[in-house]
Structure 1
Amino acid sequence: MKQLIQTVIITLAVIYSTQTAGAQSVTSVRVKLNEDKKALLIPIGFTQNLKWDLPLTIKGGNGSTISWKSSNPSYVDNNGKLLKRAPRAGKAVDVILTANLTLGKETLTKSFKIRIAKEDPPFDAYLFTYFEGTGPKELQEQLRYGISADAINWSALNNNQPIISSELISATGGIRDPHLLRGENINDFFLVATDMFTVKNGWEHNPGIVMMRSSDLITWKHNIIDLEKSYPKKFPNVKWVWAPQTIYDPSVNKYMVYFTVRLKNDPALDFYCAYANKDFTAFEEEPKLMFKAKYGAIDGDIIYKDGLYHFFYKGNTKDENGKEFKNGIQQATAKTLQGPWIEDFKYLDAYAEKHISVEGSGIFKLNNSSDYVLMYDMYRDHRYEFQRSSDLFLFAPPQSFIKNFNPRHGTVINITAKEAQRLGQKWPGLPKELATRQK
């Protein structure tokens, strides 16, 4: 009898222990799954004004598997691919993306509301911002506009004279390498430029960059960033701060400014970046290293396509003794602006093998086309040429711009007929085909 009682007690203890362990196991799985649910996010810039494919997580930090379902797959499919934009007229379009998280036998769901960006207005023209490569040297490093209906034939506005004096917007009295970006708000424009006046100060030093903002491309507010004065510990010996550019980063809903820095005691040419404040008057924080090309690089321009950021720049190749023997336009790619950037050492332009100098790479998409234009400044020959691509990897043979000005390192954006005509009313030089085009 005593032995029987002991057997029953042991059996009950084993059952209790097994049940307790099972309960603890289920509880542990639920805790882990809840942690993965809490950590699951879609960056705010993607949810508010979607223009890109969604970066959807498919594996949680605790090992959960995550599948997604779209409430309207005609706009965004279950893999997060954006298939079309919302109509320009009418109500806003929202899509619900629901995540199903599974770990073991446990399942949880989490939903996100995604606002689809409206279609862009019909772009009918192109605006080229540049500084001039000919004429009186004291007037060359000033901001100018060129305009085109087809991205091949270009006409200078304002008789190829500056549209704003560099003395009014820069610390040095000169600007180079202007980069113009249309913001997420269709009527916001951001312009950055190298704060440098080589005619007066030479090439040994420039302090920083110029930051500008406009709502009409005519009237501009400006600010100056002196990298050495603003960040003396990080940049105590700045030699060059070259070719700044701006790009919107949807992962943080901010505008990133990036540029090449060279220090006086270091020959490296590295890209640094910082997020602009909301007013686009300064940086939120100290610039940090963004991309370090193997042999150094300048004149970067980034564009997003099909889930990948393409970073075009002037790169070079050096021998085992560190002597450069080739240079031209190269690219690196990354899935996010934070990198890591994968450097491709292939030259994209048609002139690297011919040892003909090119720099100032710029990339833009053609209106009503799937093609992109990679343009570059052939500064020794006073030529500007371009090569077309549909995938940003393979580029067609070069073509030349036809123009009545000699641009140096600039950028191109797409504009509407209304915007072109507004510029034409302010400054002479608008082509007839744009002057008469319906707005």
Structure 2
Amino acid sequence: MLQISGSAKAQKRIKIDAERDMSAYLMVYFKDDTHGLYMALSQDGYSFTDVNNAKPIIAGDTIAEQKGIRDPYIYRAPDGMFYLALTDLHIYAQKAGYRNTEWERDGKQFGWGNNRGIVLMKSADLINWSHQVLRVDKAFPELANIGCAWAPEMIYDEAKQKTMLYFSMRFGAGKEKVYYTYLSDDCSKMETLPKPLFEYPKDVAYIDADITRVGHKYHMFYASHDGTSGIKQAVSDSVNAGYQYDPKWYDPEPAGCEAPTVYKRIGENKWVLIYDIYRINPHNFGFSETSDFVNFKNLGRFNEGIMKSTNFTVPKHPAVIQITRKEARRLAKRWKLNMKF
């Protein structure tokens, strides 16, 4: 991977990746019924249209050892490449005929939804993707008995000039917390033993961390299982340390939420916090908007307010990035989507 400074190509990418060059939004998500990857485009950041008419663009059984993926995250690296990180897990694989047991390993020893892999994908154009499975349990001897590796995300650490991968992990059937590691330059393997990113002050699980850099601060939203499941925030001056516990709940939902993610509105001093409201039926996304990461305006759920999903329902675990007009047009053309960019 190219460094942020140095080559002319890297400098060119910085210019292209400036917010002034962005014109649209790309959401990735999955669905429980297929365990496949979906994409949705938006012109304004409020209304999203699935590119493949609510059908997977990539089937989970074509890329994952467990024949299903969950929790997709999309990341634009400084070298101009796009990366996807996904949980290698099918929670209904026995019913779907992919295995003879409920889980890959004994549920009493390794817990609910036990898995050991992360699917890493790479693309130059958002259309053609290579993929591999990163077996977390095989990366270091110390990780041989992990109980899960869920909800991976990626962020560039400018101080180290390396991509940091962070994900929810537990040992055996213990409580989950978020760990971080640094990837090789081609983002294909872990180079450092994962370490806890943040220590929750109580003996409870927390998962699904999402880090957003705003100025010189890093805002980490995560799902805390502190009596209920909801969204909390911790802030630090460093991407991998120093996060301060904040007891406040940041989602307005009475039902259980998880999978927080944040995206910035193009050209505005506004950020949108999305959360997966998984304890309602049918499940849905909720949205809140902020300019200061202290005060949040509740925008409601998809299709119950200003936020719209035009041709899809019951999405799970989203991530959103800004993309250029050229990138949006390429996706629309590939999927024969009638949207003008």
Which residue is 1:329 aligned to? 231
Deviation, structure 1 residue 117: 9.1
The one-letter amino acid of 2:294's match is F
Task: Summarize the alignment of residues 226-265 of structure 1 with structure 2, pairs less than 5 Å apart.
Answer: 226-231=135-140, 233-265=141-173
Instruction: Render the CA deviation track for 1:410-436: whole Å, top value 9, x for unaligned.
Output: 2001112211110111113343xxx2x
Contact kept? 1:330, 1:346, Cα under 8 Å = yes
1:366 alignment counterpart: 265
Q: Which residue of 2 is the match for residue 301 of structure 1? A: 210
Question: In structure 1, what is the Cα distance between the partners aligned to 2:337 and 2:331?
Answer: 9
Q: CA deviation at 1:118?
A: 7.5
Whole-Å separation in 2 of the counterparts to 1:178 and 1:284: 22
Structure 2 counterpart SS, 1:167: helix
Compute the displacement of 1:170 (Å). 1.4
CA distance in structure 1 between the partners assigned to 2:325 and 2:87 by the alignment: 29
| Alpha-carbon distance in structure 2 between the residues aligned to 1:122 and 1:155 | 21
Cα shift at 1:45: 6.7
Aligned to 1:60: none
More helix by share: 1
CA deviations over 1:99-135 (Å, ceiling 9, x no partner):
xxxxxxxxxxxxxxxx9997445222111100024xx
Q: Quote the offset at 1:192 in angstroms.
A: 0.2
Contact 2:167 2:209 in 1 (8 A): yes
Q: 2:114 aligns with which of 195, 201, 205?
A: 205
Amino acid in structure 1 at the alignment position of 2:81: D
What is the rounded CA distance, in whole Å, between the counterparts of 2:74 and 2:49 in structure 1?
A: 18
In structure 1, what residue type is equivalent to 2:191?
E
1:59-95: CA deviations, max 9, x gaps? xxxxxxxxxxxxxxxxxxxxxxxxxxx9x8xxx9xxx
- The answer to whether structure 1 residue 377 and structure 2 residue 276 are counterparts is yes
Structure 2 residue aligned with 1:190: 83
Contact conserved, 1:301 with 1:362, CA < 8 A, in 2?
yes
CA distance in 1, matches of 2:301, 2:263: 16
Per-residue CA distance 1:6-39 (angstroms, 9 max, x = gap): xxxxxxxxxxxxxxxxxxxxxxxxxxxxxxxxxx
**Where in structure 2 are there 5+ consecutive unaligned residues?**
94-101, 104-111, 303-307
Mind listing any 5+ residue stretches in structure 1 that lack a counterpart? 1-43, 50-85, 93-114, 318-323
CA spacing shift, 1:277–1:303, aligned 2, 3 Å? same
Does the aligned pair in 2 maintain the 1:48–1:116 contact within 8 Å? no
Partner residue, 2:337: 429
Q: Secondary structure at the match of 1:429?
A: coil
Which among 169, 185, 189 is matched to residue 63 of structure 2?
A: 169
Secondary structure of the equivalent of 1:361? strand
**In the alignment, what sits opposite 1:341?**
243
| Aligned equivalent of 2:256 | 357
Opposite residue 192 of structure 2, the aligned amino acid is E
Residue 167 (structure 1) shift: 2.3
Amino acid at match of 2:142: K
Larger radius of gyration: 1
Q: Secondary structure at the match of 1:162?
A: coil
Identify the residue that residue 62 of structure 1 maps to in structure 2. none
Report the number of matched residues.
310
Q: Secondary structure at the match of 2:321?
A: strand
1:359 CA drift (Å): 1.0
2:334 partner amino acid: K
Correspondence for 2:31: 132
The answer to whether the 8 Å contact 1:237/1:265 transfers is no
| TM-score between the two structures when normalised by the length of structure 2 | 0.84
Counterparts in 2 of 1:247 and 1:430: CA distance versus 1, 3 Å: farther
Q: Aligned runs of 1:25-424 on 2, under 5 Å?
A: 119-133=18-32, 137=33, 140-185=34-79, 187-200=80-93, 201-202=102-103, 203-231=112-140, 233-266=141-174, 268-294=175-201, 295-317=204-226, 324=227, 326-351=228-253, 354=254, 356-379=255-278, 380-381=280-281, 382-401=283-302, 402-403=308-309, 404-405=311-312, 406-424=314-332
Q: CA deviation at 1:47?
A: 6.0
Contact 2:30–2:317 (CA<8 Å) still a contact in 1? Answer: yes
Kept after mapping to 1: 8 A contact 2:152/2:166: yes
Q: CA deviation at 1:271?
A: 1.0
* Residues 205/428 of structure 1: CA separation in 2 closer, same or farther (3 Å cut): same
Partner of 1:36: none
Aligned-residue RMSD, C-alpha:
2.4
1:273 aligned counterpart, secondary structure: strand
> Aligned-pair distance for 1:46?
7.4
User: Is contact 2:151-2:168 (8 Å) kept?
Assistant: yes
State the AA in 2 paired with 1:199: Y
Partner amino acid, structure 1, of 2:288: Q
Q: Please give the alpha-carbon distance, in whole angstroms, between the structure 1 residues aligned to 2:5 and 2:336.
A: 42
Q: Residue type matched to 1:334 in 2? A: S
Does the 8 Å CA contact 2:177/2:196 hold for their aligned counterparts?
A: yes
Q: 2:96 maps to what in 1?
A: none
SS of the equivalent of 2:238 reads coil
Task: Assess, with a 3 A threshold, how the Cα gap between structure 1 residues 306 and 204 changes in structure 2: closer, same or farther.
Answer: closer
Query: Is residue 421–residue 430 contact of structure 1 (8 Å, CA) maintained in 2?
Result: no
Partner of 2:97: none
**Offset of residue 176 of structure 1:** 0.3
